[in-house]
Chains A and B, each alone.
Chain A
Amino acid sequence: MVDKPNYRTWKDIPPMPVCWYPSSLGNPTGGWRTFRPIIHMDKCIHCALCWQSCPDAAIRWVEGSPDVDYDECKGCGICAYECPVKTIEMVLEVKE
């Protein structure tokens, strides 16, 4: 686990702009979504094309199955479009 840097003044920062804190932790982009992908696992053939085609690497591959990281997924819909068995449904995000 990488610590989030705590910079306050010109003395804290490195001499030049340089950083390493992962954007997945520093800037989770799940809030961008209008539609969220729901993978209906009953028809899934585990081809991993959804995992492969995500521009954000927001679908993890866990024990042979896709698992959407909703903290990061932007809802672009590529996974649903590319799924050969059309088992991913793009559902409108509704505020709880």
Chain B
Amino acid sequence: MKKVITGNYTASYAAKLCRAEVVPAYPITPQTSIVEKIAEFVSSGEMKAQYVKVESEHTAMAACISASYAGARTFTATSSHGLVLMHEMLHWAAGARTPVIMANVNRALAPPWSVWADHTDSISQRDTGWIQFYCESNQEVLDTIIMCYKVCEQPDILLPAMVNMDAFILSHTSEVVDVPTIEQVDAFLPRFEPEWKLDPDRPMSFGSLSPPASFYMEWRYGIQHAMDLAAKRFLDESRHFERHFGRPWGGLIEEYRASDADAVLVAMGTMASTAKEAVDQVRAKGRKVGLVRLKAFRPFPSKELREALKGAKAVGVMDRSHTFGHEGPLFSEVKAALYNAPKRPAMAGFTIGLGGRDILDSTVVGLFERLHGVAERGVTKEVEWIDLRGAEEEVAR
């Protein structure tokens, strides 16, 4: 049934439809309406979940992990400082192989305080072993949460996943969302029945000390192996999703007019949808440009990226975060993915939109201007901060 709902409420509906059983909840702008809506669902009786009113996000994630080990399907949501407060426990959830699913609203980190869109919070968690998706629409938020439960709870995957949406641009913006019935979701998503759990009928100890000659390295390899399997499994389940719900979920990346493009931008989140507008405008003026949107950041879709960018002469990467002392993290990762490709394009990195600074279609058209001819000229400025006050005085790198 089609509803007009915000990204936040979409996440709440997804948790309800997926029958999340334990929801530890802590508020943080701009995620609060996710947990408020879930509280409403639980209080009204339409969602049968244990709503645990935790006293911090770190506790929220710790409670998710233990609840998952005790055999329940868990869900939580956070943003920005809440996510980085959970950092220790994010590592733990992945190492514990608990399929916790979390909605994260991408918001800038302080100081100074900012509640607006920025990817630094989740990108800075890229090493933790969590699957990461970046959504462009509220529909994608809903569908990706369902897909994450479907894939992550499988016994050979067992990985936690975060579904990211931009602060205010999605979280507080209403869009038309096709919300399935709970019966439709029940038919797609089986009950969570983990093999390894806390059960007095089958006592076991989780997380014992493991010296170097024991199996620590093998368990770490197991996480990587599960990520590799997940990359394929999401594509398999995507076909089932489309057959079942009657609309596509797609793959790990989305290509927009990129196959014959000379210059391609790579982006994640809602700035990609603005970039699509810019692609159309520049194409109308006769230049062949395109966009590749990464949906999955972890597992990193190297194979798909190499394939999508193989014809491009120039690639620009838009980063809504920055790794200080270096460059945009997505830029580094895309460059690394293309390093061993037979034909490497010229590449430039654009750090853009930090702290929610607006990204207009005209801004992105400007990026295509910068990429124009760079393959022939060579890259003079590898990293550029876009729309920075005083950018012209910036020290050339």
Contacts and interface: CB of A to CB of B under 8 A. Distances in A.
Partners in one complex: yes
Interface of A: 7, 9-10, 13-20
Given A15-B97, A16-B95, A16-B96, A10 B222 contact: yes
Contacts of A7: 215
Contact of A19 (B96, B156, B158, B204): B204
B226 interface: yes
A17 B215 contact: yes
Contact of A18 (B155, B156, B196, B226): B196
B389 to A, nearest CB: 49
A7 B208 CA distance: 15
Contact of A10 (B97, B203, B210, B218): B218
Nearest to B218: A10
Most buried by B among A7, A9, A17, A18: A17
Contacts of B218: 9-10, 13
A16 B210 CA distance: 12
Contacts of A14: 196
B219 A16 contact: yes
Interface in B188-214: 196, 203-208, 210
Interface residues of B toward A: which range?
A: 20 to 34
B204 A13 contact: no
A51 B148 CA distance: 52
Contact of B208 (A9, A10, A15, A19): A19
A10 B221 CA distance: 7
Contact of A15 (B203, B207, B222): B222
B196 A15 contact: yes
A19 B204 CA distance: 6
A14 to B, nearest CB: 6
Contact of B204 (A9, A10, A15, A20): A20
A17 B207 contact: yes
The 7 closest A-B pairs by CB, nearest first: A10-B218, A16-B97, A20-B204, A15-B97, A10-B221, A18-B206, A18-B204
Contacts of A13: 215, 218-219, 222
Most buried by B among A10, A15, A18: A15
Interface string B258-285: 0000000000000000000000000000
A17 B206 CA distance: 6
Contact of A16 (B156, B203, B206): B206
B198 to A, nearest CB: 10
A47 B219 CA distance: 48
A19 B149 CA distance: 26
Interface string B88-113: 00000001110000000000000000
A8 B218 CA distance: 10
B208 A17 contact: yes
12 contacts: A7-B215, A9-B218, A13-B218, A13-B222, A15-B156, A15-B219, A15-B222, A16-B158, A16-B207, A16-B219, A17-B206, A20-B205
Contacts of A17: 206-208, 210, 215, 219
A23 B126 CA distance: 37
Contacts of B205: 18-20
Contacts of A15: 97, 155-156, 158, 196, 219, 222, 226
A20 B203 contact: yes
A63 B354 CA distance: 75
Given A16-B206, A20-B203, 10 more contacts: A10-B221, A13-B219, A15-B97, A15-B156, A16-B219, A17-B210, A18-B207, A19-B204, A19-B208, A20-B205
A36 to B, nearest CB: 28
B205 to A, nearest CB: 6
A16 B196 contact: yes
Nearest to B98: A16
Contacts of A19: 204-205, 208
A26 to B, nearest CB: 11
